[in-house]
């Protein structure tokens, strides 16, 4: 049984972060600063500003990020080889414009030591603005009310707005506000604080970013006037360019003095006023960020000016209203309602809000694993996007999904280059990247994950099935499908048995489970490749039938021979998927059962995640999973497996899955619900739901887990809602948790939006816009109309005993070669938690 199953129903400190179904609220300052900085990040998919205080301290990790804005560096392998990744890419922190330092009687406001009779910080998910209000009793005993706000605009993706309002509640005092832009990537601020971390020569945790030893942002120009400041930079090695500009508007009922200056790495506007009791000083700050792969900074200056000029002309109020309107539309399309469950409701909405902050305006770029909330994973894009995030976008915000897929199609030329480098036809997408180059220095758990090709193809296929956007399929999708299918047909090979049967095999790959690497016939890879091959052949034929001219252009551009389509279908039909008849399970890879089983129940909590405590070679010798692999295939391609196969596979692999990856719990929840382990399904759902709010993996300070947030939607809709999609047809088989009164969510399919309501005794559908559509509920076809349609439910599916998940299946059984399957933990005599090594085989079997 996965070690994460012990997570409480609510792991959040509610005295600090109280429950509010539409807001994340902080009732007092302090706590884990890095964790809170991530939770209160404001972002739009292009621009992200971590939830650091306006004063600029106390802070664990500053960070303002632009999606795709990165530095490149040479990967120095101790022992290099042909085809190893050569160019690292790291998202860097752009100049920090969030700083608005406050001084009263020349004393700085510093939350960690300030006397604060009242304090609240919050972000309302319907508003998209980070607020903070407090009353500060200064060292001289004067009471000052301080209200701040910060908004990163969804409608104008280059724009951020900030306000600071100071009101003297009693007494009089000189007040100063120092509003700044600071290049923290290369310099420290007044308190010696720059960007936390960045590429270092060595990292203890491969999930964290890397530090540079050279100057990254090379100043190009700084400029200022009475109301505006501009700073321009060029990234040292990547050559990307950046401009940041800020305007200030000051309001007060007393006379105000203003000073402004800029230098290469800092811009500063200082506002001074003598406030009497009841007087107020308000500073409004509009900031624009523009970046480019190569455009000179002077042009970016002009773009900043145009963005700021619009705000100067219109004011702040219309921007706030646009933000509310934008989010109102988002929630209408995306909100998942869990009535009567306020804890789950708040956490669900926080996760969905993170998806908006990661994807809404990521125009022309991908969706990083951490969004733009932190520097974790160096700002890279992974296969997580296509499998965990794009499905949410496809069913709720199709335009955002199209943007994400369009980014992948733009990487196709570099994917072709990478395939050539690895001696393959077609294209091979990088496992992790920003600019399209493979950035994984560890090929066994990186480049070997060829399944990314099939994951991308899956997302393209699902998008066209659900949206009906055949124009996108014919212009972009078909090319991706063709080139990925070519790679599979070339990578695999045919093997014929003595009795004449032939099967298609794929060797030397790594599946989603990074604890089992470079293997033959990884089940997930083969199943997803089979789907990729079939959909590629189908897409080409559909284009041929729909648009002969476009088809001929495709053939000419790609050198496509129609015989290739027959080859792809033959490879798919002959795809080898190994199964062990004695256990009735699909093998994760050919030799998986030859390994001994890692005894997770005897492994202490401090030994997790295994990747930070054991050499990879130790882990690779065992049956132990970082994340769902076979089980993920059962979900994504569920129509290809029987209910009996799904149950057998889940019950075998679940007890040996560590959950060391944040991607795992949500998938385990979905499949646990389907096969009938409904308590486990709810436990796993909570594991995924609170990954960040509860900091369950201990690294939320590095940024939010965006794929896990997408997985929360998947677990709600696919797991508890029981929705499946197969070639555009939707079916439902709900699994509502026993103590949940109902579940409601909207779906958009081929332009029609309808709302699903799951109760214990029925499921209903109501069309809200678009044409009527058909779905099925447990095999019964249902027409979705504006009048609404309800289908009675006899039950919420099977209920199985979770005790079978407590220990691995088959321990003590004989394998086909006569050996006994055993379970233990790798020994380390230096660690006191290790138990004595058993030397007698009978003792080992008994221990197993």
User: What per-residue confidence (pLDDT) applies to 190?
Assistant: 61
Phi then psi for residue 97, to 5 deg, are -105, 5
Query: What tokens does 258 get?
Result: 């203003």
Low-confidence ranges of the chain (pLDDT < 50): 1, 4-5, 196-203, 832-848
- Known catalytic membership, residue 37: no
3-state SS class at 99:
coil
**66/306 Cα distance (integer angstroms):** 19
| SS3 letters across 744-772 | EEEEEECCEEEEEEEECCEEEEEEEECCC
Residues 6 or more apart whose CB falls under 8 angstroms from that of 104 comprise 136, 138, 142, 144, 166, 173, 174, 175
Give the neighbor-by-neighbor strand order of the sheet with 280-292. Answer: 23-26, 115-124, 130-137, 143-152, 159-168, 280-292, 241-252, 228-235, 217-224
User: What per-residue confidence (pLDDT) applies to 187?
Assistant: 86
Radius of gyration from C-alpha coordinates of the chain: 28
Sign of the dihedral defined by the CA atoms of residues 378, 381, 383, 386, in that order: positive
* Per-residue pLDDT tens digits for 357-394: 999 999 989 999 999 999 999 999 999 999 999 999 99
The per-residue DSSP string of 318-369 comes to: HHHHHHHHHHHHHHHHH--B-TT-HHHHHHHHHHHHHHHHHHTT-TTS---T
Could you say which of 71, 397, 514, 596 is catalytic?
514
* Per-residue pLDDT tens digits for 310-325: 999 999 999 999 999 9
* Strands 107-108, 115-124: pairing kind: unpaired
Beta strands in 111-158 (DSSP E): 115-124, 130-137, 143-152
User: What per-residue confidence (pLDDT) applies to 838?
Assistant: 40
**361/744 Cα distance (integer angstroms):** 27
Instruction: Please report which helix (H) or strand (E) contains residue 306, including its range.
Output: helix 297-314
Say if CB 250 and CB 256 are below 8 A apart: yes
Say if CB 294 and CB 240 are below 8 A apart: yes
Give the neighbor-by-neighbor strand order of the sheet with 596-598. Answer: 622-623, 596-598, 823-824
**617/614 Cα distance (integer angstroms):** 8
| End-to-end CA, the chain | 15
Q: Which of 87, 705, 123, 777 is nearest to 439 (CA)?
A: 87
């Amino acid at each position: 049984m996965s070690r994460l199953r012990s997570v409480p129903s609510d792991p959040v400190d509610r005295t600090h972060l109280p429950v509010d179904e539409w807001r994340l609220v902080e009732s007092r300052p302090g706590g884990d600063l890095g964790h809170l900085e991530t939770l209160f990040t404001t972002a739009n998919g292009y621009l992200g500003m971590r939830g650091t205080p306006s004063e600029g301290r106390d802070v664990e990790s500053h960070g303002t990020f632009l999606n795709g804005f990165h530095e490149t560096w040479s990967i120095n392998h101790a022992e290099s080889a042909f085809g190893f990744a050569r160019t690292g890419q790291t998202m860097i922190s752009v100049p920090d414009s969030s700083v608005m330092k406050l001084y009263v009687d020349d004393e700085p406001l510093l939350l960690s030591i300030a006397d604060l009779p009242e304090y609240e910080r919050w972000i309302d998910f319907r508003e998209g603005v980070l607020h903070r209000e407090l009353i500060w009793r200064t060292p001289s005993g004067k009471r000052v009310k301080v209200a701040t706000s910060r908004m990163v605009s969804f409608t104008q993706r280059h724009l951020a707005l900030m306000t600071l309002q100071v009101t003297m509640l009693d007494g009089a005092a000189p007040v100063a506000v120092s509003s700044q832009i600071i290049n923290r990537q290369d310099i420290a601020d007044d308190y010696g604080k720059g960007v936390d971390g960045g590429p270092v020569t060595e990292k203890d945790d491969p999930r964290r970013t890397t530090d540079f030893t050279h100057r990254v942002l090379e100043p190009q120009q700084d400029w200022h006037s009475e109301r505006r400041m501009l700073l321009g930079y060029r990234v040292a090695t990547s050559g990307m360019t950046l401009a940041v500009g800020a305007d200030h508007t000051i309001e007060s009922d007393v006379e105000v003095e203003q000073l402004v200056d800029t230098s290469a790495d800092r811009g500063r506007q200082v506002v001074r006023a003598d406030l009497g009791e009841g007087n107020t000083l308000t500073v409004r700050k509009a900031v624009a960020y523009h970046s480019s792969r190569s455009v000179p900074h002077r042009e970016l200056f002009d773009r900043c000016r145009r963005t700021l000029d619009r705000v100067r002309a219109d004011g702040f109020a219309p921007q706030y209203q646009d933000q509310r309107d934008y989010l109102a539309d988002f929630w209408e399309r995306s909100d998942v309602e869990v009535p009567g469950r306020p804890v789950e409701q708040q956490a669900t909405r926080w996760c969905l809000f993170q998806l908006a902050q990661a994807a809404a305006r990521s125009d022309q770029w991908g969706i990083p694993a951490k969004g733009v909330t932190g520097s974790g994973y160096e700002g890279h894009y992974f296969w997580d996007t296509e499998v965990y995030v794009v499905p949410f976008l496809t069913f709720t915000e199709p335009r955002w999904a199209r943007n994400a897929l369009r980014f992948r199609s733009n990487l196709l030329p570099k994917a072709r280059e990478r395939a050539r480098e690895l001696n393959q036809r077609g294209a091979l997408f990088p496992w992790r990247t920003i600019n399209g180059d493979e950035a994984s220095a560890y090929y066994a758990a990186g480049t070997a994950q060829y399944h990314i090709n099939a994951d991308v193809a899956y997302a393209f296929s699902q998008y066209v099935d659900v949206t009906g956007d055949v124009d996108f399929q014919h212009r972009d999708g078909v090319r991706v499908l063709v080139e990925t299918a070519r790679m599979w047909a070339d990578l695999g090979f045919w093997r014929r048995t003595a009795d004449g049967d032939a099967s298609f095999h794929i060797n030397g790959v790594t599946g989603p489970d990074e604890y089992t690497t470079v293997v033959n016939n990884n089940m997930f890879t083969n199943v997803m490749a089979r789907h990729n091959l079939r959909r590629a052949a189908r897409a080409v034929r559909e284009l041929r039938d729909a648009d002969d001219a476009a088809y001929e252009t495709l053939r000419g551009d790609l050198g496509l021979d129609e015989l290739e389509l027959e080859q792809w279908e033959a490879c798919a039909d002959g795809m080898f998927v190994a199964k062990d008849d004695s256990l009735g399970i699909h093998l994760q890879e050919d030799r998986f059962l030859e390994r001994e089983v890692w005894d997770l129940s005897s492994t202490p909590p401090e030994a997790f995640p295994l990747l930070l405590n054991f050499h990879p070679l130790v882990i690779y010798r065992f049956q132990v999973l970082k994340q769902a692999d076979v089980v993920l295939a059962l979900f994504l391609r569920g129509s290809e497996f029987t209910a009996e196969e799904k149950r057998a596979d889940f019950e075998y692999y679940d007890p040996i899955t560590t959950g060391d990856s944040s991607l795992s719990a949500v998938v385990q929840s979905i499949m646990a619900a389907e096969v009938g382990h409904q308590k486990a399904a709810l436990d796993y759902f909570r594991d995924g739901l609170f990954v960040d709010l509860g900091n369950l993996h201990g690294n939320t300070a590095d940024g939010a887990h965006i794929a896990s947030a997408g997985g929360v939607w998947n677990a709600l809709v696919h797991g508890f809602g029981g929705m499946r999609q197969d070639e555009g047809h939707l079916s439902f088989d709900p699994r509502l948790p026993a103590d949940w009164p109902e579940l409601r969510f909207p779906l958009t399919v081929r332009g029609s939006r309808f709302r699903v309501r799951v109760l214990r005794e029925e499921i209903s559908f109501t069309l809200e816009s678009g044409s009527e559509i058909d779905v099925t509920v447990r095999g019964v076809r249902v027409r979705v109309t504006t009048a609404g349609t309800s289908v009675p439910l006899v039950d919420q599916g099977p209920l199985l005993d979770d005790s079978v998940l407590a220990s691995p299946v088959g321990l003590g059984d004989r394998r086909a070669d006569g050996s006994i399957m055993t379970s233990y933990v790798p020994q380390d005599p230096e660690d006191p938690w290790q138990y004595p090594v058993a030397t007698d085989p009978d003792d080992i079997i008994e221990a197993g």
